[in-house]
Amino acid sequence: MQTILGAGGAIGIELAKSLTAYTSKIRLVSRNPEKVNDTDHIISADLGERAQVFEAIKGSAIVYVTIGFPYKLKIWQQYWPKFIKNVIDACIEHNCKLVFFDNIYMYDPNFLDGMNEETPINPPSKKGKVRAEIAGMIMEKVKKGELEALIARSADFYGPNIKNSSILTEMVFKPLSTGKKANWMASLNYKHSFTYTPDAAKATALLGNSPQAYNQVWHLPTAKNPYTGKEWIEAIAGEMGVKPRFQVASRLIIKILGLFIPVMREMPEMMYQYDRDYVFNSDKFDSHFNFKTTPYLEGIKEIVKSDYLRKHL
């Protein structure tokens, strides 16, 4: 049994599809789980409750954490450390391997150009401090030999059928598809990597089912030579057949957008990721696995063709 905690999100759904290459016993856990594959086992659970975390994990060989708590600092501070402690304790008790899907918020902002698994941990944001804390909790147990786990890190992600958790979808794809200007934060002139969600999911499933991958951090496969903000907007507009109209969003504009777009409300403290080159390096993964990473233009084409975006055209 391989279990996904937080099964209904952009990564969880793609991961459920990818795990069928390794097992027919897939357990999906969330508040309102829905089958992705016909053979999936579904469990409805409040993963904020310790007892329900233990019950959800019981009987699993591998547990994947892809849950996304609401993108609010207070909620993150309240729920993430407690949840991760419960997951760690349950995995130890039930002898499960743990795969934690992570982001890069904990990295030192001075080392984002070419960031890899050795990039210094020095989070500049309060959300980043939460991410550093929970990743540290996992690796501490690994170092003590009490837990077999790996951390799979992604850059900001993009992909088809993402409802509201992708900055690129909210800032560029959706506005352009409805005749509005695209938004970009801070500056159009810096490179910005994005990880394609189907690639991230396939790679996470591969790592989880590779015994030699455990007890270390991995950057998930991400296309090299990322576009600048301007190039992202131009490429997306080109595939949509619309003019690449845009506005650069200052901190004030981001706050105004946050009145209408929930994910944007918490972005002011994250704007440092857009005022410098943000280039994600996945050479470690690329050198260990034979994996075809989706080129950016191909990923854009798939999103433009996707059912979710088509509804906005």
Segment 91-124, tens digit of pLDDT: 999 999 999 999 999 999 999 999 999 999 999 9
Coil vs helix vs strand at 110: helix
Question: What is the location of CATH 3.90.25 in the chain?
Answer: 160-193+224-279+295-304
SS3 180: coil
Q: Is the pLDDT of residue 164 over 70?
A: no
Mean pLDDT of 272-293: 97
Single-letter amino acid code for the residue at 313: L
Give the least confident one: 23-37, 163-177, 288-302. 163-177
What class is the 2-156+195-219 domain?
A: alpha beta
Scored b (16 or more CB within 10 A) or e, 119-141 reads beeebbbebbbbbbebbebbbeb
Amino acid at 17: K
Residues of the chain with CATH 3.40.50.720: 2-156+195-219
Average pLDDT of every residue of the chain: 94
Task: Indicate whether 86 pLDDT > 60.
Answer: yes
Q: Which CATH architecture has domain 160-193+224-279+295-304?
A: Alpha-Beta Complex (3.90)
**% pLDDT > 90, the chain:** 82
> How many Å apart are CA 118 and CA 221, to the nearest integer?
16
Q: Which residue has the tokens 């918490």?
A: 266
Q: pLDDT band at 253, cuts 50/70/90?
A: confident
pLDDT recorded at residue 203: 98
Average pLDDT over residues 18-22: 98
| 14 has a pLDDT exceeding 70 | yes
Distance of CA 40 to the CA centre of its chain: 22
| Rounded (5°) CA angle 24-30-34 | 55
Looking up tokens 């943000």 gives: 278
- Burial class from Cβ neighbours inside 10 Å (0-12, 13-18, 19+) for residue 55 reads middle
Of the two residues 36 and 249, the one the predictor is more confident about is: 36
Full-model pTM: 0.94
pLDDT for residue 165:
67
Please, which residues bridge with residue 247 across strands? 183
The confidence band for 307, taking pLDDT boundaries of 50, 70 and 90, is low
CA distances in angstroms from 160 to 53, 119, 171, 300, listed in the order given:
30, 29, 15, 9
